Amino acid sequence: MNEWSIEVASRLMRQGWQMAVKDLFYHPTIAELAPPLNAKSHA
């Protein structure tokens, strides 16, 4: 999961979203990850 989580975090950050790789471990599904992403600023 480490490779996948780094890739997801990298792609989201390139699109202007803020997240830490550890967020994917605390919120392992898209449904769980969406609210924290929405709560952070999107440039």
Tell me the pLDDT tens digit for each residue of 12-23.
Answer: 888 888 888 888
Q: Residue 37's CB: how many other CB atoms inside 10 A?
A: 15
Q: Residue 24's CB: how many other CB atoms inside 10 A?
A: 20
Q: Which amino acid is at 10?
A: S
Q: Encoding tokens for residue 24? A: 């994917």
Look up the pTM and report it: 0.61
Band of the pLDDT at 8, cuts 50, 70, 90?
A: confident
Closest CA relative to residue 11, chosen from 32, 33, 35, 31: 33
